[in-house]
Amino acid sequence: NAGVTQTPKFQVLKTGQSMTLQCAQDMNHNSMYWYRQDPGMGLRLIYYSASEGTTDKGEVPNGYNVSRLNKREFSLRLESAAPSQTSVYFCASSATYQNTEAFFGQGTRLTVV
Amino acid sequence: GIQVEQSPPDLILQEGANSTLRCNFSDSVNNLQWFHQNPWGQLINLFYIPSGTKQNGRLSATTVATERYSLLYISSSQTTDSGVYFCAVQVAAGNKLTFGGGTRVLVKP
């Protein structure tokens, strides 16, 4: 049982380049999330999808877009990467968007130079 | 928004020691989770514990929702317990987990 799978695990981008982070879950969860973690800090929510077909902004959405491709997959896109987006990105999923346990992927370490 | 404070920020233990980590939160919550972030960065689910007490091996957790705190107990610590422990909460009307700042634990052999 893979749980939440993210790709890639590591990525280096030049300023201005674009990329998409992929996330897939095999737990039949309705809700999915993208978080970022910066050094010495906890995780902050970028975007979430409460259910298939819906997406909403979290607390730090600027510079990002998301797509809920289907129930399993939720992607995060950086259209024009900036050094401030250097971070570790985590995808998560939960059965529903309230009051259920969230499970996290292994993270993507992104460096923008 | 809700504030989540964890203490202590850093903890150094000798292998075999016991410890207690605390998480205080500023509002009523419907969800509380404890995670262990290992040295490779992976977030491991420890407990889903909006209230009550749970135990899993050498770890146990207690949440007193009415007093807005949760405790994580580590007994007979091992070097593999090293890492950062995060508490995360979800408010009744909210839709995201709010993380505390974490407790960094180092267990020395």
Is the CB of residue B5 less than 8 Å away from at least one CB of chain A?
no
B30 confidence band (pLDDT: 50, 70, 90): confident
Name beta bridge partners: A90.
A35
A98 confidence band (pLDDT: 50, 70, 90): confident
Integer Cα distance of A106 and B21 in angstroms: 24
Chain B positions touching A45 (Cβ under 8 A) are 96-97
B96 confidence band (pLDDT: 50, 70, 90): confident
Query: Is A107 within 8 Å of B42 when comparing Cβ atoms?
Result: yes
* C-alpha Rg value of chain B to the nearest Å: 13
Residues B14-32 have a mean pLDDT of 95
Closest chain A residue to B102 measured between Cα atoms? Answer: A42
Task: Provide the percentage of residues in chain A whose pLDDT is more than 70.
Answer: 98
At B93 the pLDDT is 57
Integer Cα distance of B105 and B3 in angstroms: 22
B95 confidence band (pLDDT: 50, 70, 90): low
* C-alpha Rg value of chain A to the nearest Å: 13
